[in-house]
Structure 1
Amino acid sequence: MHLVESNRKKAAFLVSALNEVGVAPRVHARRIEDAYDAIGTPDIVTARALAPLPLLIELTEPWLTQGARALFHKGRDYRREVEESGNTWRFDLVEHEDKVDAAAIILEVSNPLRR
Structure 2
Amino acid sequence: MKAHDIGINVSRETLEKLERFASLFQKWAATINLVAPSTKADLWQRHIADSAQIFKIAPDPKHWVDLGSGGGFPGIITAILLTESGRGWVDLVESNNKKASFLRMAIAETGARAAVHPVRIEEAQTKLLDCDAISARALADLNQLLAFSEPWAQRNPSLRCFFHKGRDYQTEIDKARGGWDFDLLIHRSAIETDSVILELANVRRRSQPAQGAE
Bin the TM-score by the shorter chain: over 0.9
Structure 2 unaligned spans of 5+: 1-89, 207-214
Q: Report if the CA contact (8 A) 2:93-2:117 is conserved.
A: yes
Cα deviation, residue 38, structure 1: 2.4
Question: Following superposition of structure 1 onto structure 2, how do residues 41-60 of structure 1 map, counting pairs within 5 Å?
Answer: 41-60=130-149
Are 1:109 and 2:200 matched, yes or no?
Answer: yes
Work out the CA distance in 2 between the residues paired with 1:23 and 1:114: 34
Q: Which residue of 2 aligns with 1:34?
A: 123
Amino acid at match of 1:64: A
RMSD: 1.1
SS at structure 1 position matched to 2:111: coil
Cα deviation, residue 24, structure 1: 4.4
Q: Which residue of 2 aligns with 1:14?
A: 103
Q: Report if the CA contact (8 A) 2:166-2:194 is conserved.
A: yes
Are 1:93 and 2:164 matched, yes or no?
Answer: no
Name the stretch that deviates more: 70-79 or 40-49: 40-49
Larger Rg: 2
Which structure 1 residue ranges, 4+ long, deviate > 3 Å from structure 2?
Answer: none
Cα deviation, residue 9, structure 1: 0.7
Work out the CA distance in 2 between the residues paired with 1:68 and 1:39: 14
Q: TM-score if structure 1 supplies the norm length?
A: 0.94
Cα deviation, residue 113, structure 1: 2.0
Q: Report if the CA contact (8 A) 2:91-2:115 is conserved.
A: yes
Work out the CA distance in 1 between the residues paired with 2:161 and 2:137: 11
Identity of aligned residues (%): 43
Structure 1 unaligned spans of 5+: none
Cα deviation, residue 110, structure 1: 1.5
